[in-house]
Amino acid sequence: MQGIRIGNLYCLAVVCIALAFLSGCSNKKTVNFKINSIPKGAHVLYQVIGEDIPCQGKWVYLGQTPVQGARQFEESQLEDADKITLKIMHQGYNDQVKEWDGPGFWHEVETRAVVFWAPQMVESLKEQ
């Protein structure tokens, strides 16, 4: 009988510790991206600037348009970001940029469930 009580206490302790670890974990938010361009084949990057953000200020490559995928972010980092930038580049065309502050980006993610962008690229006047 005493072995059962010790076993139950052991299980209860393990469950309590697991719950403590889980409640201490930060919230992850999956952000869905759907980005297209005219013409297709533009390179898509994003950048997040703000305090306490890993890789802050570095450009992260998402792929070539059309891009459809998801990234995970820390919820607090998105809300507290100073600036979040999407950029598309295509040879022979001007770069296109879309920017948000942290709360604006968070609002778009929460209300639309996807970050959608479909710019029509403008030919560059620079000589190739």
Share of the chain above pLDDT 90, in %: 38
Residue 91 per-residue DSSP state: T
pLDDT in tens, 70-90: 888 777 777 778 899 999 999
pLDDT in tens, 55-72: 778 898 999 999 998 888
CA separation (Å) from 72 to 67, 69, 83, 90, 116? 16, 10, 17, 26, 16
